[in-house]
Structure 1
Amino acid sequence: MKFQYLLAAFFAAVVYAAPSNGGNNGEIVGNHDENDSSSSGECKPLLQSCNDNSDCCSDNCLAGFCLVGYNVKTMGSERLPLRQIGIYHNLPDFDSSLKGLTVIITGANGISGFHTMRALLAAPERWSKIYALSRRPPPEQMMGLLTPEQRSKVQHVACDFLESGDKIAQALKEANVTADYIFFYSYLQPKPPPGGAIWSNADELVKVNSALLSNFLDSLPQAGIKPTRFLLQTGAKNYGVHIGRIRTPSCESDPQPKDLQPNFYYPQEELLFKYCKDNGVGWNIIMPAWIIGATNNAQMNALHPFSVYAAVQAHKGEPLTFGGDWNAWQGLSFHSAARLTGFLSEWAVLEDKCKDQRFNAIDDSPFSWDRFFHELTRWFSVEKGVIPPPEDDSKYQEMTGRAGKETPLGYGPPTKIRASFTLSSWAKEEVNQKAWKELMSQSGGKLTHDPFEDIEANFSCGDAAWTTVMLCVNKARILGWTGFVDTMEAVFEMYSEMEQLGMVPAMKVDKPKPHV
């Protein structure tokens, strides 16, 4: 035993200074050999005898013993320089040996799935193939936001997750799908009952969205697919923000208010945990706030309606009016740029220390309606400016939430949301619908989307966006997450790209004013 310790001390400087040379030359590639003890988890601890690097948990076999050393499989991103990609700053990076990975992204034609795909494509050597699973492929206009090289790495596989697992597995096998990692974003929003709020049909949401995940999970063993990590994205409703008063800021360790109202997040998590336990797969859960990102289906995009509102008011020569009260006007909230959340998700699944953990996801950039509305006037040239909230309380309608034990907080008075008008009611006015038609006509065919064709779907989230969401990201920060984006710049980028998608009229300025 003394000889082993002397040997370890003798070679310590060498193994800390240089990467291991055996196995796959220190590389991690997709689809490891299942017989490789290092990938199966059956590895030897320090100072045990070994034949080559693959025998050792440290990936470092020297002179017949497992020694501490450089190991790209377990060492994280903290030792590498940070990346700067456009408006996205201080992004973690990983060793260049981590390459050739394959990934499944479900719901890749939606706001979160598409922008996670863009985040992964920013590391083309790391991610060799992205299988985009959905009923329909990402629209051509959205794919036009990618470079030809990026598009070449994406393969759409048509799957309907409401079908049985064996049918989904058949589609996966026919497309020769492999996956080192899986990101699940598939979501269906059943139409609420007439006059009901967007998430009022909770039971139907649970039924349909649980089925989506359950059927997909059933398909994976049948298709011979076993990922290293499975990531599920849920959201801030995990904390019951849509029910009533909650703890603020919301932390990942806060209890879930499962007894207050059905929420499809909870049965989805149980399905995920069971699958991962039964199959030896790691998991992550990501919970963003209001999501920012360009897609040609903006029904879940809470800030898209404000671009429509600003463009129409500018066209009519009228000012912007904020519908909330002064508390909402000057209060702070946080949003979640979909691409930054994609970078966070990549970091989470690749970091060994993040295995089996959930994370909140926000830009960590304070957002106020005061500053946002004044930027909207500049972006869309609203010459009449902004009318602040009324000071006369009689101008407001008040919506009162639950109180006391009927809330996630468990005590206290009900939350009250006051509004002098809503975007949905504004959108029903014929003069505004006519103004949008005029903007479409004047655009020369560039503005093609008409959100007024389905007012309830396209404006409801905008009315709900005044709800303050305060998520705490201390957990991710402690574990090494460093990414950042100025939310104002993220919104401007979204509107610019939505102009390319025919969703938003051209803005009148080239760049936003960041919060500096």
Structure 2
Amino acid sequence: MSVSLSPARHLLVIGGYGVVGTAVVDLMTKTPGWQLTTAARRSPPASLLDGSPAPAHIRVDLLDAASTQQAFADLASVTDLVFCAYSERESMAASVAPNLAMLDHSLKALGQAGAKLQQVVLIGGGKSYGEHLGPYKTPAKESDPRFMGPIFYNDQEDLLWRTAEREGFAWTVLRPDGVMGPSLNSPMNILTGIASFAAISQALRLPLRFPGSLEAWTALHQATDSRVLAEAVLWALTTANARQQVFNVTNGDHFRWQQLWPQIAGFFGLDSAAPQPMNLGVQMADKAPLWAAIVDAHDLRQTPLEQIAAWPFVDGWLNAGYDMVQSTIKIRQAGFSGCIDSHQSVLEQLQRLRDYRLIP
């Protein structure tokens, strides 16, 4: 059963222009009945990817409690929060404190500003099941016991639940996996990483070789289309069944790189060739000038290679040589039906990258 929208609902999206935030902002700017504000460490883009004006934006260092309080001082009208900010660190242990602090400072600053939150949606991920550690129990379910940390998702969830109980707002945790979609100046994006690798292969007149492990080439994997995730966010904000719940969110199917990779090659007009495992962090270390030349030759958005691809992130994704499967039964039984064929998702999202002049 859906909750009727108040005309006064004001949504704050923290982490507004990563791959998740970009999709949420894109959907919410087109959804009547919402006032939208974004917040992030970086400045907002001059316009959204479709050319429409960006919503009101607050530039803030969420790691600084005092600065966050000052930046959020005028946000008393905020009623809803989507938190999808992330701070990358050198290890899982090192990532706990900063990512917990950003959520903590955000919630406290909104409270200090006088905001009366109704709903908070926290974006988590598959690492909640230990998939970054190696083979794990599949299909993974929200009811599975936690594994031994460090894992900042657990700390963020505990903080959210304590604060919600004390302050009286509702919460939903969404756990996507492998989010596919466009983003601006946000290199933690598997799609832009693969696309830039393919564009560089194209420029060098090479076939497209899968650079991950041979085990990953044949393993069963999953992804979450950023548009499906944004729809799940809107559903969580407006549906009573989503309150005080954790949900996995994926496309609803699975894929193997060995079957998807030739279609990616075909999108770029390339032949695919036998996989060639490589360390992309090493192989792409000298490719920034070539990427800059590609950008100029094709009149693309001026995006440096380090802002379109985080190669260690891509390496991690393409070397997961085991099944990655999360159950989505719970969210479907709760009423969310969003889904998409993963092959279709990748090809459509690559076309969006091309339409937005992010890739040739």
TM-score where L is the length of structure 2: 0.90
Residue identity over aligned pairs, in percent, reads 25
1:500-515 correspondence to structure 2 within 5 Å: 502-505=357-360
Counterpart of 1:333? Answer: 221
The structure with the larger Rg is 1
Query: Does 2:8 match 1:103?
Result: no
- Shift in Å at residue 296 of structure 1? 2.0
Query: Does 2:284 match 1:420?
Result: no
CA distance in 2, matches of 1:312, 1:158: 33
Query: Does 2:288 match 1:388?
Result: no
Query: Does 2:40 match 1:115?
Result: no
Residue by residue over 1:399-458, the C-alpha shift from the partner in whole angstroms, topping out at 9 and shown as x without a partner, is xxxxxxxxxxxxxxxxxxxx7323333313x5x556434423422x4253232x589x62
Query: Does 2:25 match 1:171?
Result: no
- Shift in Å at residue 177 of structure 1? 4.3
Over 3 Å counting, the alpha-carbon distance change for 1:440 and 1:108 in structure 2 is closer
Counterpart of 1:248? Answer: 138
- Equivalent position to 2:59, from 158, 178, 186: 158
1:58-77 correspondence to structure 2 within 5 Å: 75-76=1-2
CA distance in 2, matches of 1:434, 1:136: 24
Over 3 Å counting, the alpha-carbon distance change for 1:253 and 1:314 in structure 2 is same
CA distance in 1, matches of 2:184, 2:128: 26
Counterpart of 2:162? Answer: 274
Over 3 Å counting, the alpha-carbon distance change for 1:132 and 1:256 in structure 2 is same
Counterpart of 2:328? Answer: 473
- Equivalent position to 2:124, from 202, 214, 234: 234
2:17–2:186: 8 Å Cα contact kept in structure 1? no
2:185–2:303: 8 Å Cα contact kept in structure 1? no
1:303–1:465: 8 Å Cα contact kept in structure 2? no
- Equivalent position to 1:215, from 88, 91, 105: 105
- Tell me: higher relative CO, structure 1 or 2? Use CA pairs within 8 A at least 6 residues apart: 2
Counterpart of 2:297? Answer: 442
2:212–2:315: 8 Å Cα contact kept in structure 1? no
Over 3 Å counting, the alpha-carbon distance change for 1:441 and 1:172 in structure 2 is closer
Q: Larger deviation: 291-300 or 432-441?
A: 432-441
The gaps in structure 2 that reach 5 residues or longer are none
User: Counterpart amino acid of 2:200?
Assistant: V
- Equivalent position to 2:344, from 470, 485, 489: 489
TM-score where L is the length of structure 1: 0.64
1:5-404 correspondence to structure 2 within 5 Å: 75-76=1-2, 99-124=7-32, 126-127=33-34, 129-141=35-47, 143-145=48-50, 147=52, 151=54, 154-164=55-65, 167-174=67-74, 176-190=75-89, 192=90, 201-257=91-147, 259=148, 261-324=149-212, 327-382=215-270, 385-389=271-275
SS in 1 for 2:310: helix
SS in 2 for 1:317: coil
Residue by residue over 1:172-215, the C-alpha shift from the partner in whole angstroms, topping out at 9 and shown as x without a partner, is 333x541221111121113x2xxxxxxxx222211111111111
Counterpart of 1:462? Answer: 314
Over 3 Å counting, the alpha-carbon distance change for 1:476 and 1:459 in structure 2 is same
- Shift in Å at residue 489 of structure 1? 3.3
CA distance in 2, matches of 1:307, 1:139: 21
CA distance in 1, matches of 2:109, 2:103: 10
CA distance in 2, matches of 1:270, 1:324: 35
1:439–1:447: 8 Å Cα contact kept in structure 2? no
Residue by residue over 1:4-53, the C-alpha shift from the partner in whole angstroms, topping out at 9 and shown as x without a partner, is xxxxxxxxxxxxxxxxxxxxxxxxxxxxxxxxxxxxxxxxxxxxxxxxxx
CA distance in 2, matches of 1:475, 1:344: 13
1:182–1:227: 8 Å Cα contact kept in structure 2? yes
User: Counterpart amino acid of 2:64?
Assistant: E
Q: CA RMSD in A?
A: 2.5
CA distance in 2, matches of 1:464, 1:487: 19
> How many residues are paired up?
357
Residue by residue over 1:114-150, the C-alpha shift from the partner in whole angstroms, topping out at 9 and shown as x without a partner, is 21122223322x32x0111223332125x242535xx
Over 3 Å counting, the alpha-carbon distance change for 1:163 and 1:119 in structure 2 is same
SS in 2 for 1:173: coil
The gaps in structure 1 that reach 5 residues or longer are 1-74, 77-93, 193-200, 390-418, 506-516
Over 3 Å counting, the alpha-carbon distance change for 1:338 and 1:273 in structure 2 is same
CA distance in 1, matches of 2:272, 2:104: 48
Residue by residue over 1:210-232, the C-alpha shift from the partner in whole angstroms, topping out at 9 and shown as x without a partner, is 11111112112211112111111
Over 3 Å counting, the alpha-carbon distance change for 1:324 and 1:131 in structure 2 is closer
CA distance in 2, matches of 1:437, 1:187: 27
- Shift in Å at residue 474 of structure 1? 0.3
1:206–1:264: 8 Å Cα contact kept in structure 2? yes
CA distance in 2, matches of 1:211, 1:185: 13
2:179–2:224: 8 Å Cα contact kept in structure 1? yes
1:295–1:501: 8 Å Cα contact kept in structure 2? no
CA distance in 1, matches of 2:293, 2:29: 38
1:119–1:340: 8 Å Cα contact kept in structure 2? no
- Shift in Å at residue 271 of structure 1? 1.1
CA distance in 2, matches of 1:371, 1:358: 31
